[in-house]
């Protein structure tokens, strides 16, 4: 077993906190791991990445060779595209769709989301939306790692334990917020993946997820939603046009 | 035995503490900063380790040498270009020799992630005739610090531990050892050893050269230099390069491999390798030091040597597993996607609300009316003012160089000669050139952007900020009339432009201090 992950984002978005959670889970599970990070000038709002590798055997290179990345996990949609040439065939991109705009030539949102949706294996989550729902917009990094967590080789409870350790110093409230962000991200990521596998268009799944009550998101309902939308072409627009949020288990009701 | 998750830098720091360290010295600089910071944090609550940032690397080195003189173990850490600043003390400490173990941890930055060049510190070790250890991973960072102190105390010379960015800033689990006691205070009062007047220095230097065979012998015997003879194609992999090599090889590969992690280069091991192979690839994350030494001026009969000098490995930039793969003539691995060629770049920028933005906006406006005015600048966050949208500074060369270069340009008749420098860079290397310029009555304008901290490297303590800075500036002889302090906030813009314009109009040395704390530092202080 070997897993190679490129964590991507913009300086200050907290990708090293994601690395903390996965590093500790890897050590806890008895794996070897190496995690190269970026310090210094780039941290001032520039593109940053961290190469995180774990395996059940010795790891040599701190950097992931091109063609060996299993996963690009990005807290920012433009940054998700920056490292795609490292992905092995069949590798996944898990990305936030919340843009961090600090450059003049930042691409149009539709173009960018279109590019991401065109990737074969991608999971897109609106991290700002879910982090806000969890109680703190800064918890987007934990939403992102939650969304990627089913692809990691650790129990959800182990990962959550290290989210707790990471924020323990900052008080119970932040621990709860970040764990909640993680769970919301996990549910949304699974819902996205299952609904897309069942035939729902990626950008439609993303739109639907924004409309669902975050706490109600249940990956088990993803197929039903995909089927209902396939049956009734106008359903998605009706749902999106309805007042307030929609509970995830309301599929038949809305239909 | 414990396991800790550590950066390479932190592993060096913890290794030093456990090896009986009494003092750590340094000046912040990426990628070396975390060595010092780790020791400072770890020993804050006890442990009796002196840990206080120094004004610059030369001062740090001299303090470390004094600690060694007194018989205790000291560590001095800096980035590669910092060693240029410390070079006077460094070179001569090899001549005096040491007493307590003295280890220099220097972090090179191949690829220039955060630096002006990618000079290779192994040349400095060779130049000074001292041993250099080059860890290949974070565990070795920890372990080699013990070896380095022992080597230093056995041979009575300083020992260099050379890191590169990818080792320094990569994290893994490191096994730790039982801590060793610190050395007793035991000053070395051999006056002739420490007093390098020519009559003594000649003796000391001869003594240093006499130690060289032993340095070589130790490198030959060191398990850090491992020779594995297999087939007729050979590889020499130095330090971290070994990781990229083994990443690309199967365990039953057919290459004959020499890994070098302790210098001087072990000639017998190299010879044994050369006797086996007719094709030799040399991999170094840095300059082609070993490659050039092995090839010599004219190359070797019967062995084809490949590396940075022959183009199989790019001449510049850091190594990575893909470059090494290509140099091994292996097929690239299949990938899911091609590179995203048309992606917008996201360069670093000054933080939102950074005081430097207001300072340089004011300077830009004050310089309006001059024909394409050039501003000499320096090392720090404000070097980012070179980029759009500010494009306010036009040089960044060496710590303190802004003032010296502006003075030289003024000597040549260039006007306005403007230098922009931060408070910490000023204390590091700006005081002496300002003193020169003031004493010469040069017509130059210095803008000191006093953000009260060393911003770029993570808001370490600045030596000369606030009133200390003011007193130093006035102490160089700047007239009180042409020493001005402004507060760079948007509301003060017009007024700040006016102050700068008045000083630009003055024919003589003037200093304007733009004083407002770095917002990152303020955030940290609030915690
Ligand atoms: S770290 Fe401080 S000095 Fe540097 S850009 Fe940010 S606010 Fe400015």
Portion of chain A with pLDDT greater than 70, in percent: 98
Domains and CATH numbers, chain A: 2-198 (3.40.920.10)
| B105 in any annotated domain | yes
Statement to judge: residues B251 and B277 lie in one domain: yes
Domain contains B497: yes
Task: Write out the H or E segment, with its range, that includes residue B3.
Answer: strand B2-7
Q: How far apart are CA B284 and CA B110, in angstroms?
A: 10
Same domain flag for B406 and B366: yes
Rg (Cα) of chain B, in Å, rounded? 25
Beta carbons of B343 and A65 less than 8 Å apart: no
Q: Is residue B123 part of a domain?
A: yes
* pLDDT for the residue numbered B149: 98
A114-131 pLDDT, tens per residue?
999 999 999 999 999 999
Share of chain B above pLDDT 70, in %: 100
- Classified as helix, coil or strand, B513 is strand
Any residues with CB less than 8 A from the CB of A171 and at least 6 apart, and which?
none
Question: Per-residue pLDDT averaged across B506-527, rounded?
Answer: 94
Same domain, yes or no: B318 and B381:
no
> B526 at the A interface (CB within 8 A)?
no
CA distance B16 to B49: 10
Q: How far apart are CA B32 and CA B168, in angstroms?
A: 7
How many whole angstroms from A87 Cα to the centroid of ligand 1? 34
Q: How would you label A148-180 residue by residue, b for 16+ Cβ within 10 Å and e otherwise?
A: bbebbebeeeebbbbbbebbeeeeeebbebbbb
Inside any domain, residue B199: yes
What is the C-alpha separation between A218 and B198, in angstroms, rounded?
A: 82
Residue B119, pLDDT score: 98
List the end-to-end C-alpha distance of chain B, in Å, as a whole number: 34
Using 50, 70 and 90 to split pLDDT, how confident is the model at A254? low
pTM for the model stands at 0.96
Residue at B287 is within a domain: yes
CA atoms of A153 and A162, how far apart (whole Å) = 14
Pick from B335, B338, B351: CB nearest A88: B335
Q: Are B127 and B70 in contact (CB under 8 A)?
A: no
- Say yes or no: B253 and B359 in one domain: no
Residue B73 and residue B104: Cα distance in Å, rounded? 11
Q: Is the CB of B385 under 6 A from ligand 1?
A: no
**What pLDDT digit, counting tens, does each position of A8-48 carry?**
999 989 999 999 999 999 999 999 999 999 887 777 888 99
How far are the Cα atoms of A91, B69, B210, B450 from residue B204, in angstroms, in the given order?
A: 61, 16, 10, 44
* Any atom of ligand 1 within 6 Å of the Cβ of B518: yes
Residues B317 and B368 in one domain: no
Provide the chain A residues 21-50 that lie in CB contact (below 8 A) with chain B.
Answer: 23-24, 27, 32-47
Residue B335 falls within a domain, yes or no?
A: no
CATH of the domain at B232: 3.40.50.920
**ipTM (interface pTM):** 0.94
Contact B348 A119 (CB under 8 A): no
Residue A142 contacts B, CB cutoff 8 Å: no
CA B350 to ligand 1 centroid distance, Å: 6
Residue corresponding to tokens 């969304």: A147
Please indicate if any CB of chain A lies within 8 Å of the CB of B527.
no
Please name the residue ranges forming H helices in B138-190: 138-155, 165-168
Residue B527 pLDDT class (50, 70, 90 cuts):
confident
pLDDT of res. B195 = 98
Output the six-digit token pair for A75. Answer: 């807290």
Final residue before a domain boundary, out of B210, B245, B275: B210
List Cβ neighbours of B15 (8 Å cut-off, separation of 6 or more): B141, B142, B143, B144, B145, B146
Same domain, B46 and B157: yes
Task: Check pocket membership of A44 for ligand 1, CB cut-off 6 A.
Answer: yes
Tally of domains in chain B: 3
Quick one: B203 and B239 in the same domain?
no
Each residue's pLDDT tens digit, B460-484 = 999 999 999 999 999 999 999 999 9
Distance, CA of B313 to CA of B315 (rounded, Å): 6
Residue A158 banded pLDDT, cuts 50, 70, 90: very high
- Domain-located, residue B137: yes
What pLDDT sits at residue B15? 98
Contact list in B for residue A102 (CB cut-off 8 A) is 346, 349
Range of the domain at B403: 355-526
Q: Are B141 and B266 in the same domain?
A: no
Same domain, B53 and B173: yes
Which residues of chain B make contact with A63, given a CB cutoff of 8 A?
A: 166, 244, 320-321
* Residue numbers in B near A33 (CB within 8 A): 172-173
In a domain, B336, yes or no: no
For residues B230 and B206, membership in a common domain is answered with: no
Q: What is the pLDDT of residues B272-307, one digit of tens each?
A: 999 999 999 999 999 999 999 999 999 999 999 999
Q: What angle do CA A239, A241, A242 make, to 5 degrees?
A: 65
- Judged by CB atoms closer than 8 Å, whether chains meet at A27 and B346 is answered as no
| Structure token pair of residue B205 | 């230097």
Q: Cβ of A35 and B170 within 8 Å?
A: yes
Task: Encode pLDDT of B339-357 as tens digits.
Answer: 767 899 998 899 999 999 9
pLDDT, position B462: 94
Q: How far is the CA of B314 from the CAs of B116, B245, B409, B524, in angstroms?
A: 19, 16, 36, 41
B198 in the same domain as B101: yes
Q: Determine the pLDDT at residue A253.
A: 60
Q: What is the CATH number of the domain that holds B475?
A: 3.40.50.970
Specify whether B469 is located in the same domain as B431. yes
Neighbours of A44 (CB within 10 A): 20
What is the percent of chain B where pLDDT is above 90? 96
Quick check: CB of B519 below 6 Å from ligand 1? yes
Of B210, B238, B267, the last residue of a domain is B210
């Amino acid at each position: 077993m070997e897993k190679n992950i490129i964590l991507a984002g913009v300086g200050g978005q907290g990708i090293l906190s994601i690395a903390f959670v996965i590093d500790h889970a890897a050590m806890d599970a008895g794996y070897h791991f190496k995690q190269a990070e970026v310090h210094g000038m780039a941290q001032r709002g520039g593109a940053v990445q961290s190469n995180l590798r774990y395996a059940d055997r010795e790891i040599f290179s701190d950097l992931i060779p091109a063609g060996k990345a299993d996963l690009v996990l990005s807290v920012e949609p433009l940054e998700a595209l920056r490292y795609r040439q490292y992905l092995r065939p069949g590798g996944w991109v898990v990305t936030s769709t919340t843009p961090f705009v600090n450059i003049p030539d930042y691409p149009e949102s539709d173009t960018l989301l279109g590019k991401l949706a065109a990737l074969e294996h991608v999971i897109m989550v609106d991290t700002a939306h879910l982090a806000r729902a969890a109680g703190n917009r800064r918890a987007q990094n934990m939403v992102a790692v939650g969304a990627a967590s089913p692809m990691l080789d650790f129990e959800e409870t182990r990962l959550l334990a290290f989210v707790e350790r990471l924020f323990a110093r900052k008080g119970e409230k932040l621990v709860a917020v970040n764990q909640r962000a993680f769970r919301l991200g996990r549910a949304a990521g699974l819902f996205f993946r299952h609904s897309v596998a069942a035939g729902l268009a990626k950008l439609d799944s993303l739109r639907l997820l924004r409309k669902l009550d975050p706490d109600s998101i249940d990956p088990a309902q993803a197929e039903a939603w995909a089927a209902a939308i396939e049956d009734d072409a106008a359903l998605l627009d009706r749902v999106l046009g309805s007042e307030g949020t929609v509970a995830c288990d309301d599929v038949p009701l809305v239909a | 035995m414990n396991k800790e998750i550590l950066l390479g830098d932190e592993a060096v720091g913890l290794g030093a503490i456990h090896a009986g360290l009494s003092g750590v010295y340094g000046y912040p600089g990426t990628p070396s900063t975390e060595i010092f910071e780790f020791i400072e944090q770890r020993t804050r609550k006890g442990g009796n380790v002196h840990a206080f940032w120094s004004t610059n690397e030369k001062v740090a080195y001299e303090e470390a040498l004094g600690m060694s003189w007194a018989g205790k173990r000291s560590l001095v850490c800096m980035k590669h270009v910092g060693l240029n600043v410390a070079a006077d003390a460094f070179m001569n400490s090899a001549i005096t020799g040491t007493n307590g173990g003295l280890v220099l941890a220097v972090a090179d930055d191949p690829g220039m992630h955060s630096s002006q060049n990618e000079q290779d510190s192994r040349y400095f070790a060779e130049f000074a005739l001292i041993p250099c250890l080059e860890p290949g991973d974070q565990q070795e960072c920890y372990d080699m610090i013990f070896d380095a102190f022992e080597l230093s105390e056995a041979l009575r010379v300083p020992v260099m531990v050379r890191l590169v960015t990818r080792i320094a800033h990569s994290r893994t689990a490191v096994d730790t050892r039982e801590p060793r006691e610190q050395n007793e205070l035991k000053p070395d009062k051999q006056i002739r050893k420490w007093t390098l007047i020519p009559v003594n220095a000649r003796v000391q230097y001869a003594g240093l050269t006499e130690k060289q065979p032993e340095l070589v012998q130790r490198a030959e015997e060191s398990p850090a230099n491992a020779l594995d003879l297999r087939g007729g194609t050979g590889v020499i992999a130095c330090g971290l390069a070994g990781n990229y090599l083994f990443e690309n090889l199967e365990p039953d590969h057919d290459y004959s491999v020499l890994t070098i992690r302790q210098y001087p280069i072990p000639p017998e091991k190299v010879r044994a390798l050369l006797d086996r192979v007719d094709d030799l690839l040399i991999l170094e994350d840095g300059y082609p030091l070993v490659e050039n030494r092995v090839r010599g001026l004219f190359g070797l009969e019967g062995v084809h040597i490949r590396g940075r000098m022959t183009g199989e490995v790019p001449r510049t930039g850091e190594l990575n597993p893909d470059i090494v793969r290509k140099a091994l003539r292996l097929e690239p691995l299949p990938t899911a996607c091609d590179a995203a060629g048309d992606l917008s770049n996201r360069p670093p920028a000054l933080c939102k609300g950074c005081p430097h933005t207001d300072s340089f906006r004011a300077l830009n406006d004050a310089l309006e009316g001059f024909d394409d005015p050039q501003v000499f600048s320096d090392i720090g966050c404000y070097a980012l003012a070179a980029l759009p949208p500010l494009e306010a500074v036009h040089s960044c060369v060496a710590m303190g160089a802004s003032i010296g270069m502006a003075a030289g340009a003024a000597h040549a008749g260039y006007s306005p000669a403007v230098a922009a420098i931060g408070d910490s860079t000023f204390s590091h290397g700006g005081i002496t050139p300002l003193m020169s310029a003031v004493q010469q009555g040069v017509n130059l304008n210095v803008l000191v952007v006093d953000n009260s901290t060393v911003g770029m490297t993570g808001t370490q303590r600045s030596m000369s900020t606030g009133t200390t800075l003011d007193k130093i500036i006035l102490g160089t002889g700047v007239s009180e009339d042409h020493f001005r302090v402004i507060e760079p906030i948007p509301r003060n813009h017009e007024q700040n432009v006016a102050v700068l314009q008045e000083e630009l109009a003055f024919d003589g040395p003037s200093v304007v201090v733009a004083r407002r704390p770095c917002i990152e530092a303020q955030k940290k202080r609030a915690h």
